[in-house]
Amino acid sequence: MPASQSRARARDRSNVLNRAEFLSLNQTPKGAPEPRSSGRKASGPSTQPPAPGDGARERRQSQQLPEEDCMQLNPSFKGIAFNSLLAIDICMSKRLGVCAGRAASWASARSMVKLIGITGHGIPWIGGTILCLVKSSTLAGQEVLMNLLLALLLDIMTVAGVQKLIKRRGPFESSPSLLDYLTMDVYAFPAGHASRAAMVSKFFLSHLVLAVPLRVLLVLWALCVGLSRVMIGRHHITDVLFGFAIGYFQFRLVELVWMSSNTCQMLISACQQQEDPTGPS
């Protein structure tokens, strides 16, 4: 108690209004009416002081609200640009989804468009590559087919991993097919058919001797596969574009780790021994 009284006296001494020349400012003039608020306070019931917990809660809210307001009212330029591009992507993808459902404008062409997309599916390409590898009798053909099989397996694993990480849905509510579940192509980003079409077309253009019309048709096929996935409402435009980019980088990676003819023959021999462990009698 003495310590608190000494602090109160020190505050009174340090207050400028307590000096002798300013004492008249603290006194109420004679005849001046009392403030209405004081009358209300005197006549009204006595107010209880707020609980200590309420004051702490209000202080926490006052510290949190400005930060939230700044986040909502002052978004960054990158956030605005990203949200704008995302809105444009969704709007354009929905407009191009002319075969997305039975009530769509091009609903009659949905089967044909889906057939174009199936030509870029992983299961037919892997099965066809294995079949051609079994039937091939030349070392050069087996080398190309083994590296193509490696590229296809790399594409499936890469697309499945990125889709599982991003988990982006398509512009329309559509359930994946059985073939999509087999290749783990369940989500929208990136488009697996587009990445596979880009990788396969680049692979053939680099390792096969094709006439100019066939080369043009190969590029058009890859573009049609990507467009078909947007038309049926399975992917956004950015999903297809990123799929094309991933397919190109996969091709470059396969070129860096290209398996030689000797390595391919060793792998083929190991597979044959696994199939027939007893060997010739």
Cβ atoms of 230 and 100 closer than 8 Å: no
The residues carrying an active-site annotation are 193, 235
80 token code pair? 């605005």
Which candidate, 229, 234, 237, 241, places its Cα nearest to that of 93?
237
Cβ atoms of 209 and 257 closer than 8 Å: no
For residue 218, what are the contacts with CB-CB under 8 A and spacing of at least 6? 201, 204, 205, 210
Taking each continuous run of H as one helix and of E as one strand, the counts in the chain are 13, 0
Cβ atoms of 238 and 89 closer than 8 Å: yes
Cβ atoms of 230 and 110 closer than 8 Å: no
Cβ atoms of 176 and 185 closer than 8 Å: yes
Amino acid identity of residue 37, one-letter, is S
155 token code pair? 């594409």
